[in-house]
Amino acid sequence: MPGKIFISCGQLKNEERQIATEISKWLRRKGFDPYVAIQTQSIQDVNSGIIGKLKEADYYIFIDFKREKIGRAKDRGPEYRGSLFTHQELAITYLLGFKNAIFLRERNVRLEGIGQYLLTNADSFRSKDDVLPLIRKKISRLGWYKDYSRHFVVSISNSGQWSFSDHTGSFNQHIWQVIVENRRDDIAAFNTVARLSRITLPRGIIINSPDTNFLKWAGKHQTYSTTILQGDSAKFDCVALDINHPSHVYLHSELDTIRHPIINTTGLYLLHYQILAVDFPIFEFTLEMDLTNNVTSTVLRLR
């Protein structure tokens, strides 16, 4: 799950679009997942595209290219307007509380609006050829790394064999759990829930999970929603094997009927999960399960 970088820069000219492409290609080679903002035509595009991508992003790069000449400043020569579109994104970014950001502006762009407050320390460049080298230098100096997330990060915990009981009965099972970390340092993840949404079968066919109800959070009696504070973590039961029938895979969900196995045949499966929380983008991840007919040889790993 590479770190996502939102690139906000004007693309009025071919030269500017080429710079955005070069930055994006370089970031991909470094292992990041860049997104270049395209100018939108409607408020619906802003809501579904720009704001959604900004909420998902871990890093933010702002590049302010000059536009038309608007006057002269004492001792500094001509001044130019900046890109209106990128300044709109800058305002949204400020509201979203980004901590890891790089700000660049072309020489002699006048600081106006929110830019007067956020861009006073932005790095200035004379030539568009200077942009990519500046970004390389800044990323190295700031220590951005490709595996960083400001949202959720998951890992697997093998909790072992337990006698598990809930409202559907008692079971002797081997349980795996997923650790969910909230990497944000400014907001808690309220009403966090997890569910198994889909399963990829050994033949490659994708099906909806037989049970899409919310899953139980570990260490809490019949709790299917939790709050994960800033910088804290919580665990949920992702899958369990029946000790007496180790090819039978179960979920610990809020389902209140008789519990049936979601998988009952050996093979290699992909389990697709979703985590949802208030004010957080939907987080999706996949576990690969090599299911044998033996608890000790069955393997579960992050895909």
In a domain, 205, yes or no: yes
Amino acid 288 reads: E
Position 246 scores a pLDDT of 92
Pair 133, 168 in one domain: no
What is the spatial distance between Cα 177 and Cα 154, in angstroms, rounded to a whole number?
A: 10
Other CB atoms within a 10 A radius of the CB of residue 301 amount to 10
Pair 106, 170 in one domain: no
**Structural domain total, the chain:** 2
Q: Tell me the residue range of the domain where 185 lies.
A: 152-302
CATH of the domain at 13: 3.40.50.450
Which tokens belong to 145?
């790394």
Other CB atoms within a 10 A radius of the CB of residue 20 amount to 21
Position 75 scores a pLDDT of 65
What is the spatial distance between Cα 292 and Cα 303, in angstroms, rounded to a whole number?
A: 18
In a domain, 147, yes or no: no
* Ranges of the chain whose pLDDT falls below 70: 39-48, 73-76
Pair 137, 156 in one domain: no
CATH of the domain at 225: 2.60.40.10
Position 259 scores a pLDDT of 85
Pair 137, 157 in one domain: no
What is the spatial distance between Cα 287 and Cα 271, in angstroms, rounded to a whole number?
A: 5
Q: How many Cα atoms sit within 13 Å of 266 on the Cβ side?
A: 9
pLDDT digits (tens, 9 = 90+) for 190-212: 999 999 999 999 999 999 999 99
What is the spatial distance between Cα 293 and Cα 265, in angstroms, rounded to a whole number?
A: 9
Pair 137, 158 in one domain: no
The predicted model scores a pTM of 0.74
Other CB atoms within a 10 A radius of the CB of residue 148 amount to 17
pLDDT digits (tens, 9 = 90+) for 141-168: 999 999 888 889 999 987 788 788 788 7
